[in-house]
């Protein structure tokens, strides 16, 4: 199970239930790509579909039979329909971790297929310009293919790349970044640095957020299978901290023993909706939050007593109340049932006190590496004014503050702003201030008041920056712009806008924040001409 973090009031957008949004921001408007001729990789891919791939016939026995690869393909792309069986050569790994090949000039997306493999697949979806297909057999196997260590890997949907060696994962993520800039920004020779990976790409997550359900008389907790609402029970997740795994198992057992009702989305009956457990790597303590559909939890006294008895590392037992029927995970009200109000954590030399709903990076080890690159891109001397747009709980701004004259952070979510201020106090940072609001509104207001930012940092949700914010940044005329992104496609589109407005792209640094998944983080350094 690998998930990306949720900010307060985040909507779930994938099987993982997590995504890189800081809250319910408006969806960024589509940004048109620059008009230019098809890039070299696009032209190559269009020519490189399997030369002999074709729709299969059915044998007299009723079993599907694939046409010999010596046969010539016949018919047009429009003849392909759901249920057809095709042979495809995989050309690359797509942004969602699927294998991408071509069949009769249509892109084919096949989950579980690897680059350079020849696979047999069953068509599951037909669109005018692309197909989705289900992998049925690997005819030519890639040397990068491995057996996933997770027993529920194919069902869970949280990870997408466990069937690939870690070295191949890193290569694929670099290629995804290059192809995104080539496709959406027209940049053929991207100044990209080697991706920063992990020495041990397992058990890196410090937080689990699992939906609850029933399986017979047993309470289960897990993620929804990709593209469905079928809950997959998760035990011993291979990318989760082992302590968090242990806490989840014990809590499920305690809830089952006490017969605490589990919430049913269809009937809207029951109590427990979601279990959230987060470990503070610095303290070794665990913050446990039960998200409920009711104000009260039955037998709550015994519940707290048993958790405390069986899980001595738990320092906080909290209840978050979320009564509404929605895809939001957290509600507005949180009650501490027992223990500390906040979880102590550290990132480098910074100290944090995290409330149950507070955002904090899921992979602290890689976060330090990423933020060090942000600091390098900012190129601070001690005299700069830094504006940190989409600042969240202030982690990037606080990381830069010791080397800056002043840091101003902007965040839409009120709770995150309060956490950022508390984090500044906890770390003894006095030159960082955090403001609630839209960055695309506050930045122009500050510029009108005479503010001249030297460096602007953006770390937007997966949808990318608001177009109005990009325009505000251009008008503010900072010397440097640091763009942190979790989506190479929207990153490249936004960079194209900035390059057209006079910025120069110095370098792109990919960082593997979530091994075993298709996600790749990037830090981009841009300077104004």
pLDDT digits (tens, 9 = 90+) for 473-498: 999 999 999 999 999 999 999 999 99
Contact yes or no for 222/156 (Cβ under 8 A): yes
Q: Which residues have a Cβ under 8 Å from the Cβ of 36 and sit 6 or more positions away?
A: 186
Strand 64-65, strand 118-126: pairing: unpaired
**What 3-state class would DSSP assign to 131?**
strand
* Residue 64: predicted pLDDT: 54
**What 3-state class would DSSP assign to 42?**
helix
pTM of the model: 0.84
* Residue 415: predicted pLDDT: 86
User: Given pLDDT bands bounded at 50, 70 and 90, which one contains residue 208?
Assistant: very high
User: Which among 475, 514, 498, 510 is positioned nearest to 34, based on CA atoms?
Assistant: 498
Give residue 152's Cα distance to chain centre: 20
* Residue 1: predicted pLDDT: 53
Sheet with 272-279: list strands edge to edge.
231-233, 218-224, 207-215, 272-279, 286-292, 314-321, 333-339
* Residue 79: predicted pLDDT: 82
User: Which among 124, 435, 103, 255 is positioned nearest to 111, based on CA atoms?
Assistant: 124
> Could you tell me the two tokens for 267?
């009937």
Rounded-to-integer distance, Cα 373 and Cα 481, Å? 13
Q: Which residues have a Cβ under 8 Å from the Cβ of 482 and sit 6 or more positions away?
A: 374, 377, 378, 455, 456, 457, 458, 523, 524, 525, 526
Average pLDDT over residues 337-349: 95
User: Which among 472, 328, 418 is positioned nearest to 24, based on CA atoms?
Assistant: 328
Q: Which helix or strand (DSSP H or E) is residue 233 part of?
A: strand 231-233
Domains parsed from the chain with CATH numbers: 40-142 (2.40.50.140), 178-197+362-528 (3.40.50.150), 207-347 (2.40.50.1070)
* Residue 476: predicted pLDDT: 97
Is 486 known to be catalytic? yes
Buried b (16+ CB within 10 A) or exposed e, 169-192: bbbbbbebbbbbbbbbbbbeebeb
Rounded-to-integer distance, Cα 333 and Cα 158, Å? 28
Rounded-to-integer distance, Cα 195 and Cα 523, Å? 11
Average pLDDT over residues 501-527: 98
Average pLDDT over residues 502-507: 98
Q: According to the annotation, is 390 in a ligand binding site?
A: yes
What would the pLDDT profile of 362-375 be if each residue is shown by its tens digit?
Answer: 999 999 999 999 99
Rounded-to-integer distance, Cα 380 and Cα 400, Å? 8
Q: According to the annotation, is 459 in a ligand binding site?
A: yes
Beta bridge partners of 527: 480, 504
* Residue 265: predicted pLDDT: 86
Percent of the chain at pLDDT exceeding 90: 79
Q: According to the annotation, is 361 in a ligand binding site?
A: yes
User: Given pLDDT bands bounded at 50, 70 and 90, which one contains residue 515?
Assistant: very high
Residue 6 has pLDDT above 60, yes or no: no
Residue 30 has pLDDT above 80, yes or no: no
> Could you tell me the two tokens for 473?
């940044």
106: phi then psi, degrees, rounded to nearest 5: -110, 135
Rounded-to-integer distance, Cα 230 and Cα 73, Å? 38
Mean pLDDT for the chain overall: 88
Q: According to the annotation, is 496 in a ligand binding site?
A: no
What would the pLDDT profile of 376-410 be if each residue is shown by its tens digit?
Answer: 999 999 999 999 999 999 999 999 999 999 999 99
Average pLDDT over residues 89-104: 97
The number of CA neighbours under 13 Å toward the Cβ of 474 is 18
What would the pLDDT profile of 160-203 be if each residue is shown by its tens digit?
Answer: 999 999 999 999 999 999 999 999 999 999 999 999 999 999 99
What would the pLDDT profile of 52-78 be if each residue is shown by its tens digit?
Answer: 333 444 444 444 555 333 333 444 445
Residue 47 has pLDDT above 90, yes or no: no
Beta bridge partners of 208: 277
User: Given pLDDT bands bounded at 50, 70 and 90, which one contains residue 48?
Assistant: very low
Rounded-to-integer distance, Cα 145 and Cα 141, Å? 7
* Residue 151: predicted pLDDT: 94
What would the pLDDT profile of 458-472 be if each residue is shown by its tens digit?
Answer: 999 999 999 999 999
Rounded-to-integer distance, Cα 352 and Cα 162, Å? 32
User: Given pLDDT bands bounded at 50, 70 and 90, which one contains residue 18?
Assistant: very low
Contact yes or no for 395/426 (Cβ under 8 A): no
Catalytic residue among 156, 391, 465, 486: 486
Residue 82 has pLDDT above 60, yes or no: yes
């Amino acid at each position: 199970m690998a998930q990306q973090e949720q900010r307060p009031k985040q909507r779930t957008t994938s099987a993982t239930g997590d995504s890189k949004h800081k809250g319910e921001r408006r969806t960024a408007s589509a940004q048109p790509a620059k008009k230019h001729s098809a890039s070299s990789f696009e032209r190559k891919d269009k020519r490189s579909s399997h030369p002999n791939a074709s729709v299969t016939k059915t044998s007299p026995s009723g079993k599907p039979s694939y046409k010999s690869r010596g046969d010539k393909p016949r018919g047009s792309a429009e003849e392909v329909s759901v249920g057809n069986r095709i042979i495809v050569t995989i050309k690359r790994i797509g942004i969602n971790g699927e294998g991408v090949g071509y069949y009769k000039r249509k892109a084919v997306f096949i989950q579980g297929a690897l680059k350079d493999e020849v696979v047999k697949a069953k068509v599951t979806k037909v669109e005018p310009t692309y197909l989705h297909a289900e992998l049925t057999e690997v005819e030519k196997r890639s040397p990068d293919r491995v057996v996933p260590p997770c027993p529920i890997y194919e069902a869970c949907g949280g990870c997408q790349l466990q069937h690939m060696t870690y070295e191949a994962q890193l290569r694929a993520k670099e290629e995804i970044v290059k192809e995104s800039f080539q496709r959406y920004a027209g940049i053929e020779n991207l100044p990209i640095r080697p991706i920063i990976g992990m020495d041990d790409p397992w058990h890196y997550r410090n937080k689990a957020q699992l939906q609850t359900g029933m399986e017979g008389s047993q309470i289960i907790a897990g993620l929804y299978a990709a593209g469905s609402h079928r809950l997959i029970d998760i035990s011993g997740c291979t990318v989760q901290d082992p302590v968090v795994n242990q806490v989840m198992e014990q809590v499920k057992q305690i809830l089952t023993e006490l017969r605490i009702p589990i919430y049913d989305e269809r009937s809207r009956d029951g109590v427990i909706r979601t279990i959230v457990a987060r470990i503070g790597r610095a303290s070794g303590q665990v913050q446990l939050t039960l998200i409920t559909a009711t104000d009260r939890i039955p037998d709550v006294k015994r519940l707290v007593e048993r958790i405390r008895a069986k899980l001595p590392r738990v320092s906080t037992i909290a209840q978050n109340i979320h009564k509404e029927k929605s895809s939001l995970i957290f509600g507005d009200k949180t009650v501490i049932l027992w223990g500390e109000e906040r979880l102590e954590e550290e990132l480098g030399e910074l100290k944090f006190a995290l409330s149950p709903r507070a955002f904090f990076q899921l992979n602290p080890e890689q976060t330090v590496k990423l933020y060090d690159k942000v600091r390098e891109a900012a190129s601070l001397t001690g005299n700069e004014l830094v504006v940190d747009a989409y600042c969240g709980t202030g982690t990037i701004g606080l990381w830069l503050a010791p080397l800056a004259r002043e840091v101003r952070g902007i965040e839409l979510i009120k709770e995150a702003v309060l956490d950022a201020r508390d984090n500044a106090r906890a770390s003894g940072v006095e030159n960082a201030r955090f403001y609630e609001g839209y960055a695309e509104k506050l930045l122009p207001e500050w510029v009108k008041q005479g503010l001249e930012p030297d460096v602007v940092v953006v770390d937007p949700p997966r949808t990318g920056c608001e177009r109005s914010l990009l325009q505000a940044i251009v008008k503010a005329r900072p010397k440097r712009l640091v763009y942190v992104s979790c989506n190479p496609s929207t990153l490249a589109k936004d960079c194209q806008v900035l390059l057209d407005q006079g910025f120069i792209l110095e370098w792109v640094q990919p960082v593997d924040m979530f091994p075993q998944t298709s996600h790749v983080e990037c830090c981009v350094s841009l300077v104004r001409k």
